[in-house]
Amino acid sequence: MLEPGAPGGQPGTAPANPHTACWRCLRRSWLIAELSPQLDYVYADRARLLALLALGDAELIAALAGRRRDELRERHARFARRAADRRAGVRAICRHDRSYASALRAGSAPHMLFVEGAAEAFCELDRGALVAIAGSTRASDYGREMGRALARGLAASGVSVAGALRDGIGAAALAGAAEVRGRAVCVTPGGLALAVPARHRRLAERFLRSGCALSELPPGASGRRWGHAAGERIIAALAQVTVMVEAHDTPRELAPAWMAHTLGRSVAAVPGRVTSPLSAGTHALLAGGAQLVRGASDVLELLGRRAPPVGPTSDSAPGGPDRLSPQLQQLLARVGAGEDTLDRLTAGAKDAGSVLLALSELEAIGLLARGDNGRYVPTLGA
Amino acid sequence: MLARAHTFTIDGLQVRPVAVEVDIRPGLPAFSIIGLADAPVREARERVRAAILNSGYEFPARRITANLAPADVPKAGPGLDLALACAILAASGQTSSERLASHALLGELALDGELRPSHGALAVAMAAAQAGLARLVLARSQARRAALVQGIEVAPAASLKSALRILAGGVADGAPALAANRQMPPDAARGRAGPDLGEVKGQHHAVQALILAAAGAHNLLLSGPPGTGKTMLANRLASILPPLSAQEAIEVTRIYALAGLGERLARKRPFRAPHHSISMAGLVGGSQRSWVGEVVLAHQGVLFLDELSEFARPALEALRQPLEEGRLAIVRARGAAVYPARFMLVAATNPCPCGYAGDGDRCDCGESELARHRRRLSGPLLDRIDLLVHLHREHDLHAGALTTTRRARERVLLARERQAARLAGEGVLVNAAMDAAALRRHVSLDERGDDLLRRAGAQGMLSARGQHRVLRVARTIADLEASPRVRAAHLGAALAMRPEVGLHGSRAA
C-alpha cells in the first residue's frame, strides 16, 4: 500500500524530490475530486464551502459522502500512489514541500496543487509580490480595458498577476500580463488541461509561457461550479492585494474581495461611473474602506513599491496624450466622459469627416479602441 | 410526310431549343408524342386536335408521330402547343413548310384556336436570337417584352390562324406598334412611391453609411439592438440604388420570368429578404422543385439577411462563391448550371442573442451564448463585409431626417458616374469590384493618409485584406465628395466603419 520511496508526510519535512507530492496529499486531492458533485451543492454558500474544504479527510467523508461513505472510506484506506493520474507538463507540489507557498499552509487552503506552465512562476510566489485582479465575467469594455492595462503595468514592473481564466476581467488581466510576458497565475475550476473552455485556449497557451496554471484537483477531473469559488480562495490567499475592477453589487461577484478580506489581505477597487450597475459593487467596496485604484502605480504604492521608471510599451504612440493636437485631446476627453458612439460624437459637428478621421487617428496611435458594440473605449496606454 | 418546327423549353434558368418533328403516315388514326414530355405536353394532343379543328383546318385521320428532339432533354409546360399544331398542318400539306425552319413558335393553344401566352417569353426571344432564327411568333400580350431583345423580329399572333398567316408571309397582328418599343422607357424607375429615406429620423451615421454602400456597391452589416431601425434602413436601400440599365432589366426580367414569378418588365432593383430559417438549397437553388434560389433572384439587386447570426451555417457558407465571383455554379444529380448572382449583401444582426448587449444592464445572455454569437458572426462571411455600422438607441427623439431618397439617389448616381468614368477600361463598374492592382492605380493617399494607414497596420487594426477593403471604401467616400484624390479624412472615415471586431474579440481572446 505504501510506496517504498514515499515520505511519511510529517509536517515540515520536505520530500526528497522537490516536485513530488506526498501520497497523503495526493490522496486528499483524489478525495476532493470524488466528492466534487457533492461540493457543488454548496457552491453558492462560500462560507460553508470554505468550512468544508478545511475539514480533514475523515470528516469530509462523513460530512459529504452520504450513502457512499463506507465505499469511499475503504477506497481511501487502500489509496495507492500510482492511482494518481500523471500527465506530461503537470507537476504536483504539496504543502510539505519547501517551495510550496507559505500563504497556502493555513485554514481552508488546499493541501497540494498541480502546476502547469512555468513552474518557476509558482516557486517565485513566496518571494515576489502578487496582485489578484478580479471582477465580473460580464464586464464592460471599460472594465476589460482597465483590467488589461492594470495587469500589463503590474507585470511590466515585476509583480505577478493572478486572475481567473474566465470571460471578462479575469481573461483581460491574464491577456494584459501575457502581452509583456509577465508572471501570471490562474486557478482552473477543474483538473488541468481539461478545464480550459475552447475559446480561452489560445490565451492560456500565451500566458503559460511565462506564467502558470494551478489546480487542486487531479489532472483530467472535470470542473464544476464550486471550482470557481475554490479558485477564488486560492488566489485571495496568494495575493497581497486583491483589486476589484468591475462587479455588480452581489455577493457572488464580490466574493473575491470577501475572501481576501476574511484572510486579512488588502482589498482595492477601481471606480467607475456611479450610474453603471457594473460598478455598483466596486463603489460599495470603496465606500466600505477599500483602497482606490486609478492605475498600476496606485497598486504599486499599496505594495510599498515605487512606480517603475518606464515599462516596456508597445508604443507606436508618440508620447502621452499631452502631445496631441487640441482637437484630438478634446475628442479623447469626450469619449472618456461617456460620449462613446459614432452618432453622438458626430452629432452637431460641422464636419463629421474630420471627427471620424480624428477617431481613427486616436485608434491608430493606440489611445482609443473599439469595443464590442462599436463604442469607443479610452485605453491607458501601458 | 415530315415537317419540323422550332420552339423552346425551359429548364431551371436555362432555355433549351426543341425541334418538333411530325411524321404522318397511313394507318389507323393515332397521335403519339415521344421525347421526354411531361404531363402538360402530353395533354397537348387534345388541345392541338381541338384547336386545329376549330380553326377550320382538318386534323389528319392517320397515324401521327410527334418527336420532341433532343430526346434526352425533359420538356415541360404547354408552350410547345403552337409548334406542334403548325408542324402537323405542314406535314399534312395544309400550309407551306418552307418558313417553319426560320421561325420560332411559342405559345399554348386554347380549344378554339386562340394563342395564349406561356411563361419566359423574353428568355425564349433571347435564345431564339442566339439560335439564329429570324422571327418569333408568340401571343400578343408578350410581344412588347420579347421585342426588347435585339436581333430577332417578333411577330405577335392572336390565334393559330394568324400564326399560319404569318408563316405564309402575311402580316402579324399589331406589328407596327412594336418598332417604337425597342427601347427601354427612359424613366423606367420613376413614378413609384416606395419607402423613403426621409422617414428615417436620426441615425445620421447609419444613413450616411447606407448611401456610401449604395454608391460603391459595398456589402454592409448593420448591428444594433431591436428597434433601432436596421430593417427600416435596409428596406430603403433598393430605392437609392441607380436604376436598372436596359441590359440589367432584361437580365432580371428573364430570371423572374423563368422562375415563374411574373412576366412584367423589371423596373426596380430586386430586394430579396429571405427569412433566417431558409435552407442552403433555398438560398442558392437547385432542389427538385425550385431551381432558382434567393441569391439568383437578388441578381442586380439587394440580398438582405435579417438576423444574420440565426441563419444556418451551411446557408451562409454557400454565399461565398456568389459574393466573390458574382455568379453561382451549382451541380446536382439532375445536372449542372451556372447562374448570374451579382448582388449587394446587406445583413442585420443583434449585438447578442437577446439583443440588448451594451444597452445598460438589460442584456441577460450568458457568457457562452455571447461567445457563440460572436463566433457565428466572425465566420467567413464577415470577411466579405466592407462596412460595419453599429446602431444605438437614438437619444434625440426629435431628430430630423438626414436626407430624402431623391437627394440621396442623386448623390449615389453622381458617385457611380465618377466611378464609371475613372474605372473605364478596368473591366469593373464599381469600387467594390476593384482588385489589388486596380486599387494601386486608383487610390493614391496623401501624406497624412499614408501615415494613418501605416500606424493602423502597426497597431493591429487591419489585416492585409482588411487594408484593401478600407481603401476601396475610402475611394467611394472620395467619389461621393467628388474628390479626385483620397484624402486622410476619407481614409479615417473608412477606418471608423471597418468590420474588424472589437478589441476584446481580437486582442484579448
Instruction: Dump the DSSP string for A40-60.
Output: GGGTT-HHHHHHHHTS-HHHH
Report if residue B185 sits inside a domain. Answer: no
Give the start-to-end residue ranges of the domains of chain A.
116-302, 321-378
Q: What is the largest CA-CA distance in chain A?
A: 83
Q: Are A331 and A362 in contact (CB under 8 A)?
A: yes
Interface contact B456-A363, CB threshold 8 A? yes
Instruction: Say what percent of chain A tops pLDDT 90.
Output: 24
Instruction: With cut-offs at 50, 70 and 90, classify the pLDDT of residue A316.
Output: very low
Residue B124: closest CA among B237, B37, B10:
B10
Residues 6+ apart with CB under 8 A from B177: none
Angle formed by the axes of helices A57-64 and A46-53, nearest 10°: 130
Burial B160-182 (b: 16+ CB within 10 A, else e): bbbbbbbbeeeebbeeeebeeee
| Per-residue confidence (pLDDT) for residue A15, from 0 to 100 | 40
Mind listing the pLDDT tens digit for each residue in A137-165? Answer: 888 888 988 999 999 999 988 899 999 98
Mean confidence (pLDDT) of chain B: 83
Report if residue B49 sits inside a domain. Answer: yes
Interface contact A365-B390, CB threshold 8 A? no
- Same domain? For B463 and B407 the reply is yes
| Per-residue confidence (pLDDT) for residue B193, from 0 to 100 | 57
Which of these three, B385, B412, B434, is where a domain ends? Answer: B385
**Is B447 touching A (CB cutoff 8 A)?**
no
Report if residue B114 sits inside a domain. Answer: yes
Mind listing the pLDDT tens digit for each residue in B120-175? Answer: 888 888 888 888 888 889 888 888 878 878 888 888 898 898 888 888 887 777 65
Residue B54 confidence (pLDDT) above 80: yes
Residue B381 confidence (pLDDT) above 90: no
Report if residue B184 sits inside a domain. Answer: no
Q: Are B461 and B505 in contact (CB under 8 A)?
A: no
Interface contact A364-B367, CB threshold 8 A? no
Mind listing the pLDDT tens digit for each residue in A82-97? Answer: 655 567 778 888 888 8
Contacts of A199 in chain B (CB under 8 A): 371, 375, 509
Report if residue B191 sits inside a domain. Answer: no
Taken as a whole, chain A contains a residue count of 382
Residue type, B453: L
Q: For the ranges A21-30, A194-203, B163-172, which has the lowest average pLDDT?
A: A194-203
Q: Which domain holds residue B463?
A: 197-218+397-509
Residue A11 confidence (pLDDT) above 70: no
Residue B245: closest CA among B186, B180, B291, B320:
B186
Stretch B98-123: mean pLDDT: 87
Shortest distance between the Cα of B230 and any Cα of chain A, in A, equals: 14
Contacts of A168 in chain B (CB under 8 A): 367
Question: What sign results for the dihedral spanned by CA atoms A232, A234, A235, A240?
Answer: positive
Mind listing the pLDDT tens digit for each residue in B323-379? Answer: 888 888 877 776 677 888 889 999 998 888 887 776 666 777 777 777 778 777 776
> How many interface pairs between A and B have CB atoms less than 8 angstroms apart?
136
Stretch B275-302: mean pLDDT: 81
Report if residue B186 sits inside a domain. Answer: no
B345: domain CATH number is 3.40.50.300
Mind listing the pLDDT tens digit for each residue in B82-103? Answer: 998 999 999 988 888 888 888 8
| Per-residue confidence (pLDDT) for residue B339, from 0 to 100 | 83
Stretch A21-48: mean pLDDT: 87
Residue B72 confidence (pLDDT) above 50: yes
**Is B358 touching A (CB cutoff 8 A)?**
yes
Stretch B208-231: mean pLDDT: 90
- Same domain? For B22 and B144 the reply is yes
For B285-363, where are the alpha helices, taking DSSP H only? Answer: 294-297, 313-317, 320-325
Q: Is the model more confident about A98 or about A75?
A: A75
Q: How far is CA B251 from CA A173, B201, B255, B261, B266, in A?
A: 56, 35, 6, 14, 9
Residue A10 confidence (pLDDT) above 60: no
Q: How many domains does chain B have?
A: 3
Q: Phi/psi of residue B312, each to 5°?
A: -70, 145
- Same domain? For B366 and B242 the reply is yes
Interface contact A138-B367, CB threshold 8 A? yes
- Whole-angstrom distance, CA of residue B346 vs CA of residue B297: 15
- Same domain? For B10 and B127 the reply is yes
Q: Are B26 and B63 in contact (CB under 8 A)?
A: yes
Residue A234 confidence (pLDDT) above 70: yes
| Per-residue confidence (pLDDT) for residue A235, from 0 to 100 | 92
Q: Which of B367, B370, B504 sits opposite A141 (nearest CB)?
A: B504
| Per-residue confidence (pLDDT) for residue B287, from 0 to 100 | 58
Q: Phi/psi of residue A269, each to 5°?
A: -145, 150
Contacts of B357 in chain A (CB under 8 A): 372-373
Residue B208: closest CA among B493, B501, B461:
B493
Interface contact A371-B502, CB threshold 8 A? yes
Instruction: With cut-offs at 50, 70 and 90, classify the pLDDT of residue B505.
Output: very low
CATH architecture type of domain A321-378: Orthogonal Bundle (1.10)
Residue B308: closest CA among B347, B271, B345:
B347
Residue type, B448: R
B68: domain CATH number is 3.30.230.10
- Same domain? For B234 and B334 the reply is yes
Mean confidence (pLDDT) of chain A: 82
Interface of B with A in 205-244 (CB under 8 A): 205-206, 208, 223-224
Stretch A353-369: mean pLDDT: 86
**Is the previous residue joined to B322 through a cis bond, with omega within 30 degrees of 0?**
no
- Whole-angstrom distance, CA of residue A32 vs CA of residue A34: 5
Residue A263 confidence (pLDDT) above 50: yes
Angle formed by the axes of helices B488-496 and A352-364, nearest 10°: 70
- Same domain? For B235 and B344 the reply is yes
Shortest distance between the Cα of B353 and any Cα of chain A, in A, equals: 13
Which of these three, B327, B359, B385, is where a domain ends? Answer: B385
Stretch A372-381: mean pLDDT: 75
Interface contact B452-A277, CB threshold 8 A? no
Mind listing the pLDDT tens digit for each residue in B420-469? Answer: 888 888 888 888 888 888 888 888 888 888 889 888 888 877 888 888 88
**Is B129 touching A (CB cutoff 8 A)?**
no
| Per-residue confidence (pLDDT) for residue A17, from 0 to 100 | 44
Q: How far is CA A181 from CA A200, A228, A272, in A?
A: 17, 25, 28
- Whole-angstrom distance, CA of residue B287 vs CA of residue B259: 13
- Whole-angstrom distance, CA of residue B131 vs CA of residue B133: 6
- Same domain? For B355 and B444 the reply is no
Stretch A118-139: mean pLDDT: 82
**Is B193 touching A (CB cutoff 8 A)?**
no
Provide the grid cell at B299.
441578381
Task: Tell me if the domain spanning A116-302 has CATH number 3.40.50.450.
Answer: yes
**Is B452 touching A (CB cutoff 8 A)?**
yes
- Same domain? For B14 and B145 the reply is yes
Interface contact A346-B204, CB threshold 8 A? yes
Q: Are B140 and B174 in contact (CB under 8 A)?
A: yes
- Whole-angstrom distance, CA of residue A149 vs CA of residue B187: 60
Burial B393-430 (b: 16+ CB within 10 A, else e): bbeeeeeeebbebeebbebbbebbebbeebbeebebeb
Q: Are B337 and B330 in contact (CB under 8 A)?
A: yes
**Is B203 touching A (CB cutoff 8 A)?**
yes
- The SS3 assignment for A85 reads coil
Q: Which of B203, B368, B488 sits opposite A343 (nearest CB)?
A: B203
**Is B398 touching A (CB cutoff 8 A)?**
no
Q: Phi/psi of residue A369, each to 5°?
A: -135, 155
Interface contact B493-A144, CB threshold 8 A? no
Chain B residue with Cα closest to A345: B205
Mind listing the pLDDT tens digit for each residue in A90-116? Answer: 888 888 887 788 888 777 888 888 888
- Same domain? For B110 and B80 the reply is yes
Which of these three, B121, B150, B179, is where a domain ends? Answer: B179
Residue A2 confidence (pLDDT) above 50: no
